[in-house]
């Protein structure tokens, strides 16, 4: 039995989302049909508004409604530090912590020769421009993920930035709080030993 066209299109739309297969998309489609009309309308409006009203900050590359974004516009933030992340969602995670008060720069990806992503495919050139035009920056904190691509991106950025006399640091990696050493993989243990601190 074939689904009516509107349901089939809704299922197909849900399947375009990452990690959503046929079964989950079908379940979501039927859940949407059972939703209250007002909720469905608000959901549709949210989708359209997020695509229409949001864009990337011309300074840091974060998602924003205004340009520059509220973080770049905030003069009370520490102007001497820029924390470099892979995606806009990483900025949100760091902000929830409420401990970092500097600026951000979003790369929108990492270097990945396998996927054909080079330096020109991610937001590196605008970072270098920021560093050249803003003498207040003293430290760039690289917060890419602890993957081979994230590590190679961090090393590449370090080689580009250090000659300018700007300190380049990397977020610490290793054992998480409450973790048992016996269950940690060798790379995690290596990073933990490498990033050890004095007590």
Distance CA 105, CA 68 (A): 12
Among 165, 190, 189, CA closest to 179: 189
pLDDT at 55: 95
CB 71: neighbour CB atoms within 10 A? 17
Q: Domains in the chain and their CATH numbers?
A: 5-53 (1.10.8.420), 76-173 (3.40.1360.10)
Mean pLDDT calculated for residue range 57-68 = 95
User: Which DSSP letter does residue 140 get?
Assistant: E
- Of the listed ranges 7-11, 22-26, 97-101, the one predicted with least confidence: 97-101
Distance CA 112, CA 145 (A): 13
Q: Which residues are within 8 A (CB) of 103 and not within 5 positions of it... i.e. 6 or more apart? A: 60, 71, 72, 77, 78, 79, 81, 82, 83
Q: Which tokens hold the place of 194? A: 């490498």
- Residues 86-106 have pLDDT tens digits of 999 999 999 998 889 999 999
pLDDT at 199: 56
pLDDT: is 181 or 2 the higher one?
2
| Cα angle 70-59-86, degrees, rounded to a multiple of 5 | 90
Mean pLDDT calculated for residue range 44-61 = 95
Confidence of residue 198 (pLDDT cuts 50, 70, 90): low
C-beta separation of 113 from 131 below 8 A = no
- pTM higher than the cut 0.75: yes
pLDDT at residue 194 above 90? no
CB 145: neighbour CB atoms within 10 A? 17
- Residues 122-161 have pLDDT tens digits of 999 999 999 999 899 999 999 998 888 999 999 999 999 9
Q: How much of the chain is in helix, strand and coil states, percent to nearest 5?
A: 50, 10, 40
C-beta separation of 14 from 23 below 8 A = no
Name the CA radius of gyration of the chain, rounded: 21
Q: Which tokens hold the place of 176? A: 């998480």
């Amino acid at each position: 039995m074939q689904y009516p066209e509107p349901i089939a299109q809704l299922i197909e739309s849900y399947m375009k989302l990452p990690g959503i297969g046929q079964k989950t998309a079908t379940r979501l489609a039927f859940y949407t049909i059972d939703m209250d009309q007002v909720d469905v309308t608000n959901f549709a409006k949210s989708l359209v508004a997020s695509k229409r009203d949001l864009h990337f900050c011309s300074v840091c590359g974060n998602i924003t409604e205004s340009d520059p974004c509220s973080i770049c516009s905030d003069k009370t933030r520490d102007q001497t530090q820029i924390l470099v992340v892979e995606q806009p969602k990483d900025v949100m995670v760091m902000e929830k912590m409420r401990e970092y008060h500097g600026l951000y720069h979003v790369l929108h990806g990492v270097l990945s020769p396998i996927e054909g992503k080079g330096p020109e495919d991610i937001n590196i050139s605008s970072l270098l421009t920021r560093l050249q035009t803003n003498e207040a920056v003293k430290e760039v904190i690289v917060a890419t993920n602890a993957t081979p691509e994230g590590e190679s991106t961090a090393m590449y950025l370090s080689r580009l930035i250090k000659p300018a006399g700007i300190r380049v640091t990397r977020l610490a990696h290793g054992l998480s709080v409450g973790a048992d050493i016996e269950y940690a993989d060798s790379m995690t243990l290596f990073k933990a030993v490498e990033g050890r601190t004095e007590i």
